[in-house]
Amino acid sequence: MKKKGIDLVVVGSVALDSVATHSGSGKDILGGSVSYACTAAAFFTRPGMVGVVGDDFPRRYVGMLRKAGVDMAGLQQVRGKTFRWAGEYEEDMNNRRTISTELNVFADFRPEVPESYRSAPFVFLANISPDLQLHVLSQMRKPRFVAADTMDLWIKTAATDLRRVISSVDMILLNDSEAKLMTGEKNPMKAAAAVLKMGPKYVVVKKGEHGAILFARNSRFIVPAYPTEDVRDPTGAGDTFAGGLMGALASRGIINADAVKASLLAGTVLASFGVESFGIDRLATIKRRDILRRMDELRRIASFPPARGIPGGAGGK
Amino acid sequence: MKKKGIDLVVVGSVALDSVATHSGSGKDILGGSVSYACTAAAFFTRPGMVGVVGDDFPRRYVGMLRKAGVDMAGLQQVRGKTFRWAGEYEEDMNNRRTISTELNVFADFRPEVPESYRSAPFVFLANISPDLQLHVLSQMRKPRFVAADTMDLWIKTAATDLRRVISSVDMILLNDSEAKLMTGEKNPMKAAAAVLKMGPKYVVVKKGEHGAILFARNSRFIVPAYPTEDVRDPTGAGDTFAGGLMGALASRGIINADAVKASLLAGTVLASFGVESFGIDRLATIKRRDILRRMDELRRIASFPPARGIPGGAGGK
């Protein structure tokens, strides 16, 4: 079978996570931003991952990612141990505590984009340090659409590089506390507006279980999270969301605000599946039709009744 | 001018609040659940308030409520001091600290529903103790639709009476942490489902700045909060939301899930205006057209693009 070309390049971390939540725990689970993002994106497009693992990286994880439809040409395997993260969540899963972080081979990661990836039209710079995000971006020929994710650590320690990333991309994703931290604005709406002024066309403010808000030059759009009842492990939810969003966007011919909105719906549904298991186990079992079904359901439960239902509207008293 | 009859009876607290937030502070502001709820409801219907104040209650507050369109026949004025609450909010307004609570005349409040209110079709039992809510309900003839609000205090101290309230009403409103507390369920969706089993047709889970979720027997509906940039004082937001919701519902001929959904939109917009000032100051200045305009805007920013925007849909690749 002829191998399809890459539509979406994703760079980020590959990790072995040890996670404990109220519903269980797992050791050396496949994790990292690029693993989650690529697995989610692969439901809609052909993603290629750029990352690094050590010689201890389980072969079955390579198999899982490949089976999910992820191109692995950009995954470097080097001597040493894979990046490891350990953490535990409180019963209120919005609160988590990092137990340990071992960078290992990730400490010296210098992402190299394979030649076969360099003309890809879509790029997602998942959560890694801004200088590595810029290094990846510099290797791409002329991407049509670039998105970047980030985290509080980089806002605090690499603000200048991060500003450069934000001004270079079409879309930046960050959570509400990060938007406030970055801009000094207390109100999340004002914070998002301030980030938008830094250059990107789209700012996506992630609110975890409360969904996300898209800010564009002349419009806003609210997407609620799919109300899932069975959250087992929220690790990687933001990466899964972003990967699903970028995969859905890459699968489309046209990029505009409506396409981004529809893709946000895909991202939020992917994230809702992702949190139902540890690692990518749940994502590995669902089919595209499961995603489309849940997207339909979310669309339905978040849709307002016709405007005549408004008091004072045509059907009002 | 002939006085219109009462469509909606609201019982709750009337308070003089002293509040400090990052954007200012105020002393002896008109507050209390029934003040907020009635002011909001009055944009859509004719509410009558059942409450108690002391002889120190400022006459201008009576004037403000009356001017807003609230019937005051059910407001008892007795000797003594009005209920007072003092609190302050952190910069993150989700966190507040109560500085003092003086029940004063509220300690011996025995709500009496005026004869002119007893045939009203709609009843909102705003946040007071469940035994007072039941006492009010027992005085109503045959209301068409009854909703109740509550708080963590009653879940902890008056669980039996509260269960009786919940099983007697058509709709219960509570916030997500309260739903979890009441049911012992960790997941807010499971918690809401458990509350629904206690008897009401509708459970509204309030999530503050993140909006609300409606749970009915066979459907769910998510309403996001209106993304306001200028939150000055969130006190009373939940009461304003509920009052707006009940006022909008009372203004309609038909009660069904679509009517409740449209009314939730009204409630969330009323709350978004309410938090833009201390007390009911902002609500006292807006017009019905301001509300309808913001409802239209919220409807627009929370609406998904047509389903052909979905990857895999008719317009997908």
In three state form, how does the secondary structure of B21-34 look? ECCEEEEEEEECHH
B17: nearest Cα among B72, B98, B77: B98
Distance CA A260, CA A268 (A): 12
pLDDT band at B310 (very low <50, low <70, confident <90, very high): low
Inter-chain CB proximity A265 and B304 less than 8 Å:
yes
Q: So what's the pLDDT on residue A229?
A: 84
pLDDT mean over A249-259 = 92
Inter-chain CB proximity A310 and B292 less than 8 Å:
yes
pLDDT of residue A317 exceeding 70, the answer is no
pLDDT of residue B67 exceeding 90, the answer is yes
Q: Which residues of B touch A219 (CB under 8 A)?
A: 301
pLDDT mean over A201-221 = 94
Distance CA B29, CA B86 (A): 10
Q: Best mutation site among B222, B269, B287 for testing chain A: the one with the most A CBs within 10 Å?
A: B222
Distance CA B267, CA B239 (A): 9
Of A189, A213, A224, the CB nearest to B229: A189
pLDDT of residue A313 exceeding 70, the answer is no
Q: For chain A, what is the mean pLDDT?
A: 93
Of B207, B228, B292, the CB nearest to A312: B292
- Identity of residue A255: I
According to DSSP, the β-strands at B15-21 and B84-89 are parallel
Q: So what's the pLDDT on residue B202?
A: 98
pLDDT band at A43 (very low <50, low <70, confident <90, very high): very high
Q: Which residues of B touch A293 (CB under 8 A)?
A: none
Q: So what's the pLDDT on residue B188?
A: 87
- Identity of residue B141: R
Q: So what's the pLDDT on residue A25?
A: 95
pLDDT band at A144 (very low <50, low <70, confident <90, very high): very high
Q: So what's the pLDDT on residue B88?
A: 96
- Rounded to 5 degrees, φ, ψ at B163 are -60, -35
Q: So what's the pLDDT on residue B152?
A: 93
Q: So what's the pLDDT on residue A304?
A: 87
Inter-chain CB proximity B317 and A251 less than 8 Å:
yes
By CB neighbour count within 10 A (0-12 exposed, 13-18 middle, 19+ buried), where does B84 fall?
A: buried
Distance CA B120, CA A216 (A): 47
pLDDT band at A310 (very low <50, low <70, confident <90, very high): low
Q: Count chain A–chain B contacts defined by CB atoms under 8 A.
A: 133
Q: So what's the pLDDT on residue B314?
A: 34
Of A213, A261, A296, the CB nearest to B305: A261
Q: What is the pLDDT of residues B246-297, one digit of tens each?
A: 999 999 978 999 999 999 999 999 999 999 999 999 999 999 999 999 999 9
Of B253, B265, B305, the CB nearest to A262: B305
* DSSP element (H, E) containing A48: strand A47-53
Q: So what's the pLDDT on residue B186?
A: 86
Q: Best mutation site among B228, B246, B304, B317 for testing chain A: the one with the most A CBs within 10 Å?
A: B304
B47: nearest Cα among B34, B60, B63, B31: B34
Inter-chain CB proximity B311 and A266 less than 8 Å:
yes
pLDDT band at A311 (very low <50, low <70, confident <90, very high): low
pLDDT of residue A258 exceeding 90, the answer is yes
Which is more confident, B81 or A92?
A: B81
Q: What percent of chain B has pLDDT over 70?
A: 95
Q: What is the pLDDT of residues B168-197, one digit of tens each?
A: 999 999 999 999 999 999 888 899 999 999
Of B188, B309, B312, the CB nearest to A292: B312
Inter-chain CB proximity B301 and A222 less than 8 Å:
yes
Q: How many CB atoms lie within 10 A of CB B32?
A: 28
Cα dist from A112 to A74, A115, A218, B120, whole Å:
7, 9, 37, 72
Distance CA A174, CA A202 (A): 11
Superfamily of domain A8-304: Ribokinase (3.40.1190.20)
Q: SS3 for B270-299, per residue?
A: HHHHHCCCCCCHHHHHCCHHHHHHHHHHHH
Q: So what's the pLDDT on residue A71?
A: 98
pLDDT mean over A63-75 = 97
Burial A89-128, CB ≥16 within 10 A → b, else e: beeebeebeeeeeeebbbeebebebbeebeebbbbbbbbb
Q: What is the pLDDT of residues B200-247, one digit of tens each?
A: 999 999 998 899 999 999 899 999 999 988 899 999 999 999 999 999
Which residue do the tokens 């919940």 mark? B166
The minimum CA-CA distance between B105 and chain A, rounded to whole Å, is: 37
> Which CATH number applies to B8-303: 3.40.1190.20, 3.40.50.300, 3.40.720.10, 3.40.50.920?
3.40.1190.20
Q: Best mutation site among A286, A304, A308, A317 for testing chain B: the one with the most B CBs within 10 Å?
A: A304
In chain A, the N- to C-terminal Cα span, in Å, equals: 65
* Structure tokens belonging to residue A221: 């759009």
Q: Which residues contact B108 (CB under 8 A, 6 or more apart)?
A: none
pLDDT of residue A220 exceeding 50, the answer is yes
Inter-chain CB proximity A227 and B213 less than 8 Å:
yes
With contact defined as beta carbons under 8 Å apart, do A34 and A10 qualify?
yes
Inter-chain CB proximity B251 and A316 less than 8 Å:
yes
Q: SS3 for A258-312, per residue?
A: HHHHHHHHHHHHHHHHHCCCCCCHHHHHCCHHHHHHHHHHHHHHCCCCCHHHCCC
Q: Which residues of B touch A229 (CB under 8 A)?
A: 187, 189-190, 193
Of A261, A303, A304, the CB nearest to B309: A261
Q: Which residues of B touch A301 (CB under 8 A)?
A: 219-222
Q: What percent of chain A has pLDDT over 70?
A: 95
Closest residue of A to B188, CA-based? A229
Q: So what's the pLDDT on residue A312?
A: 41
Closest residue of A to B303, CA-based? A303
| pTM of this structure | 0.88
Q: So what's the pLDDT on residue B1?
A: 41
Which of A272-281, B23-32, B91-100, B235-244 shows the lowest mean pLDDT across its residues? B91-100
pLDDT band at B312 (very low <50, low <70, confident <90, very high): very low
pLDDT of residue A125 exceeding 70, the answer is yes
Q: So what's the pLDDT on residue A186?
A: 86
pLDDT band at A305 (very low <50, low <70, confident <90, very high): confident
